[in-house]
């Protein structure tokens, strides 16, 4: 029998229904995500002139900006969702509606010069370099007083909304704190008020004690399938210590995060057939204190199913793979 499960932090409801997986074409939303280089790819090495001038690049052997020889490269998005302004965004009243200028930043982080590399195939050392680049750009953009929130996201594969095959992620700066993050912060405050404890620390303690949804852990991070996971093989990476700000990781913690990311992405690719996916990092708002009551975390969403009328109409997602079963498969899979 199916179950309705509620996310402890956000209150979001999910229907876990393994019976739905028996439908014809139930998992056909995403073909294997095998990228093929094309001569027109602007993110491939040697095509640096086809992007805006780079904001940051890691070149182990040195070299001039906007030339080949890089490991990770950051450029402004050529078609930004948000653009830099000269002042803080101002709310306007338009009749019964409210409008806020789309002031912000939108950057592209090219994960590798290789068209075929992705999170699942990048080495832990390369992933650590990528994390350091994320932190550098995050720190630089968060200093802008017009921005309230910075979000790092990744879309891989057409089913996940990627318009370019070459592996890349994006950093978006907003003049507001997104509603999804506000719901998490409200859940933290609610639980603290009711129980006097951190809701994320409680989840970590419970999941480690239970073990049935744990995929992998190291000294600093837990990789697990959330109890109310919305999609098949959805996983999260969360720091095991009370940490609200992604960018404040130590060098040792960055290495541990790279290890957790390598384990999570590799196991998912091998277990689920290299699916298209989305990921994002939720962290504290830009100008919050480092002691802010929160745990930053990464959420990883393989695109193995498609949302339909019930999901859009009800706001309740149907997950056709129980998180416990997904975690069991991922634990048994090599990265």
CA 26 – CA 319 distance, rounded (Å):
11
CA 198 – CA 295 distance, rounded (Å):
9
CA 277 – CA 272 distance, rounded (Å):
11
CA 105 – CA 107 distance, rounded (Å):
7
User: Among all chains, which residue has been given the structure tokens 């509603």?
Assistant: 179
Distances (CA, A) of 178 to 181, 295, 334: 5, 16, 35
Is residue 87 annotated as part of the catalytic site, yes or no? no
Task: Tell me which DSSP letter residue 41 carries.
Answer: -
Residue 115 exposure: Cα atoms within 13 Å on the Cβ side: 16
The vertex-50 CA angle with 152 and 107, nearest 5°, equals 15
- Could you tell me which of 327, 105, 147, 103 has the C-alpha nearest to residue 227? 327
Tokens of 155: 């879309």
Q: What is the helix (H) or strand (E) element at residue 214, kind and residue range?
A: strand 214-217
What b/e sequence results for 16-28 when a residue is b if at least 16 CB atoms lie within 10 Å of its CB, and e otherwise?
Answer: bbeeeeeeeeebe
Tokens of 218: 């190291």
CA 313 – CA 323 distance, rounded (Å):
23
Given the residues 106, 126, 166, 168, the one annotated as active site: 168
Q: How many residues make up the chain in this entry?
A: 335
What b/e sequence results for 100-114 when a residue is b if at least 16 CB atoms lie within 10 Å of its CB, and e otherwise?
Answer: ebebbbbbbbbbbbe
Which residue numbers are catalytic?
Answer: 168
């Amino acid at each position: 029998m199916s179950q309705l499960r509620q996310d402890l932090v956000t209150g979001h409801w999910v229907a876990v229904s393994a019976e739905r997986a028996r439908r014809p074409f139930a998992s056909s939303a995403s073909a294997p995500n095998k990228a093929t280089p094309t001569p027109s790819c602007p993110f491939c090495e040697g095509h640096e002139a086809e992007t805006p001038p780079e904001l940051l690049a890691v070149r182990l052997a040195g070299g001039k900006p906007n030339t080949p020889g890089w490991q990770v490269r950051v450029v402004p998005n050529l078609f930004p969702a948000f653009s830099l302004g000269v002042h803080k965004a101002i709310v306007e009243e338009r009749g019964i509606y409210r409008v806020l200028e789309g002031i912000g930043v939108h950057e592209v982080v090219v994960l590798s010069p290789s068209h075929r590399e992705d999170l699942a195939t990048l080495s832990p050392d390369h992933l650590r370099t990528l994390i350091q680049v994320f932190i550098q750009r995050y720190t630089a953009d968060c200093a802008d007083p017009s921005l309230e929130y910075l979000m790092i996201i990744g879309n891989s594969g057409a089913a996940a909304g990627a318009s370019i095959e070459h592996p890349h992620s994006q950093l978006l700066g907003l003049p507001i704190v997104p509603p999804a993050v506000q719901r998490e912060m409200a859940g933290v405050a609610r639980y603290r008020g009711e129980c006097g404890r951190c809701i994320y620390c409680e989840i970590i303690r419970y999941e480690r004690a239970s073990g049935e949804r744990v995929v992998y852990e190291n000294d600093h991070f837990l990789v697990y399938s959330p109890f109310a996971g919305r999609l098949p093989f959805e996983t999260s990476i969360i720091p095991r210590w009370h940490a609200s700000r992604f960018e404040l990781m130590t060098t040792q913690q960055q290495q541990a995060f790279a290890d957790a990311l390598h384990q999570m992405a590799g196991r998912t690719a091998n277990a689920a057939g290299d699916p298209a996916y989305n990921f994002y990092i939720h962290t504290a708002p830009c100008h919050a204190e480092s002691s802010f009551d929160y745990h930053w975390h990464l959420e990883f969403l393989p695109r193995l199913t498609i949302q339909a009328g019930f999901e859009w109409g009800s706001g309740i997602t149907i997950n056709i793979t129980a998180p416990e079963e997904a975690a069991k498969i991922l634990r048994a899979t090599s990265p």
